[in-house]
């Protein structure tokens, strides 16, 4: 089984215990399945983008800076996992890496690493795309701001597009799933799950297609 993990940059909080456990989990799963991990920019990217915006940089320039942050994060994860030493700059490069675990970051301006993960999943004919973030799944509103936010256990791709659109908003934007990723996902056939990547036991169950707490994105309905 080919599995793509969109590993949110918000998960990179330099927690040694977490990453030691994450490494053991990925190594175990990679014995049976091929794993592609697309790493986001997180706080590092947002801080650079925030300051760049104050300095009147263009959106394309801000995107390029954010992409470099994702590749720095990807290099850290790749070294931790003893995966590919060179970080692919395109999904085609990632597809051609000959290893059981492949790690990459962003590619070009105009979308987030969610879209990179969705595109990569399409190109490798993945069975599953798991979007690992720092909340339990997709909610009807921001759970970090609203205590009464409700978790969707299932939601259709069409409903998500209605909520989020399919356009790229701007560099550093934090959304459930970015618009370009939804546009790719709608035409694709792989399963999509959104889970809290900090809860490793639950993340493992999602990766193995076992019962999990999170959101399953349906194709229709």
Residues 60-108 have pLDDT tens digits of 999 999 999 999 999 999 999 999 999 999 999 999 998 999 999 999 9
Q: How many residues does the chain have?
A: 221
Contact criterion met (CB below 8 Å) for 134 and 196: yes
Sorted by sequence, the CB contacts under 8 Å of residue 148 that are 6+ apart come out as none
Query: Above 50 in pLDDT, residue 188?
Result: yes
Contact criterion met (CB below 8 Å) for 214 and 206: yes
What pLDDT does residue 15 have? 96
Residues 155-187 have pLDDT tens digits of 999 988 888 777 766 555 566 688 888 989 888
**CATH no. for residue 9?**
3.40.1160.10
Query: Above 50 in pLDDT, residue 221?
Result: no
Per the structure, the count of domains in the chain is: 1
Q: What is the span of the domain harbouring residue 202?
A: 2-218
Nearest to 101 by CA among 5, 204, 207: 5
Q: Which H or E run includes 154?
A: strand 154-156
Q: Most distant CA pair in the chain: distance in Å?
A: 48
């Amino acid at each position: 089984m080919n599995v793509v993990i969109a590993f949110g940059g918000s998960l990179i909080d330099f927690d040694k215990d977490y990453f030691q456990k994450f490494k053991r989990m990925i190594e175990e799963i990679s014995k049976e399945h091929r794993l592609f991990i697309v790493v986001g920019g997180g706080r590092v990217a947002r801080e650079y983008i925030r300051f760049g915006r104050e300095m009147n940089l263009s959106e394309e320039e801000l995107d390029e800076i954010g992409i470099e942050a994702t590749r720095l994060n990807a290099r850290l994860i790749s070294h931790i996992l003893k995966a590919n030493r060179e970080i692919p700059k395109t999904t085609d490069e990632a597809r051609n890496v000959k290893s059981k675990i492949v790690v990459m970051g962003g590619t070009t301006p105009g979308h987030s690493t969610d879209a990179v993960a969705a595109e990569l999943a399409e190109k490798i004919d993945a069975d599953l795309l798991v979007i690992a973030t720092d909340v339990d799944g997709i909610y009807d509103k921001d759970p970090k701001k609203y205590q009464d936010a409700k978790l969707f256990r299932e939601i259709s791709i069409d409903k998500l597009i209605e909520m989020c659109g399919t356009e790229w908003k701007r560099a550093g934007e934090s959304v459930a799933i970015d618009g370009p990723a939804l546009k790719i996902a709608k035409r694709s056939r792989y399963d999509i799950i959104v889970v809290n990547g900090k809860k490793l036991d639950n993340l493992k169950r999602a990766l193995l297609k076992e019962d999990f707490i999170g959101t399953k994105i349906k194709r229709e309905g």
